[in-house]
Amino acid sequence: MNISRILCSLAALALAGCGLRGYHFASYGPGDTSAGDVTHATEAGARVVVPNTPPDPPQNSYEKPTNNRGATPRRRPSKKTCGTERWAVKTLADPEGEAIAALTPMPNTVHGLASLTAPSEPELKRAARRFPPERNVYRVSALVLGAKQEPDQDFHLVLADPAEPASTLVAEIPSGACVRPARAKFFRELRAAFTASFLAPEAEHLAKLPQAKPACVTGVGFFDFLHGQTGAAVNGIELHPVVGLEPGFCR
């Protein structure tokens, strides 16, 4: 036996003593052929892999993940959460909500609501209760231009005034998962009715109707902060929440 064969035999024995019985490559899912580094096993027969690149850490909504494997980064889906900003007022869960929900709707127009005097931003920030227009239920004839689903799960509807199409406002239908249990079924059915009669809102992006559809929309007045909302009224007023919706103009 020559010296090289002796050395090879000794090396094989040493590796066996360390427990290295085999190896495989790291995989990040079906179809992934990314290779990993190999390390020795901690016990005989075990297979342990240290990946070259660790899996991406959890990302915040809309944040592009870092990717060191040459793949095109993908936008991660938004995390579904309910809202927080004046949320009780938006969902009729505040002390005045039940009484307001029982009011007879007042006829108005999209343009008329958009012409109301709005509270200032500092007033909105320190608001503990509703402003006067927020204590009314309004019914308007409107053109539905489109809709999307917000990160807080609301259906965000963009409405235009039939007589003055440049005048628009936002109407919101909350998710049944984000309201009081007693109202959950009502809002689930209202959203289903909107989807059946108009369109199914997409997350993040406004889905526009090929042709605006007339609707009779009933909702509670609400002043929102202006932060670039699609279709927002100039004074920030919304119908939030929507509590009634019918195809065709109000009669």
Q: What is the pLDDT of residue 5?
A: 53
DSSP per position, 194-232: HHHHT--PEESSPEEEEEEEEEEEEEEEEE---S--TT-
**Domain locations along the chain:** 1-76, 87-247
What is the C-alpha to C-alpha distance for residues 130 and 124, in angstroms, rounded to an integer? 10
Q: What is the DSSP letter of 75?
A: P
Band (pLDDT 50/70/90 cuts) for residue 227 is confident
- Asked whether the bond before 241 is cis by omega within 30 degrees of 0, the reply is yes
CA distance 119 to 100: 20
φ, ψ of residue 196 in degrees (nearest 5):
-70, -35
Contact 96, 102 (CB under 8 A): no
Residue 179: what residue type?
V
What does the pLDDT read at residue 22? Answer: 37
Mean pLDDT estimate for the chain: 78
Mean pLDDT of 22-26: 33
- Cα angle 208, 72, 149 (rounded to 5 degrees) comes to 25
Coil vs helix vs strand at 7: helix
Reference 169, options 104, 121, 221; nearest CA is 221
pLDDT tops 60 at residue 224? yes
Q: Give, for 182, the enclosing helix (H) or strand (E).
A: helix 181-197
Distance CA 217, CA 230 (A): 18
Torsion, Cα 87 92 94 99, to 10 degrees, reads 160
β-pair partners for 242: 219
Per CATH, the number for 87-247 is 2.40.50.140
Give the separation between CA 152 and CA 155, rounded to whole angstroms: 9
Q: What is the pLDDT of residue 79?
A: 60
Q: Report pLDDT digits (tens) over 130-186.
A: 999 999 999 999 999 999 999 999 999 999 999 999 999 999 999 999 999 999 999
End-to-end CA distance of the chain: 104
Of 105, 94, 113, 242, the closest CA to residue 167 belongs to 113
pLDDT of 55-92, one tens digit each? 343 333 323 333 332 333 333 444 678 988 899 999 99
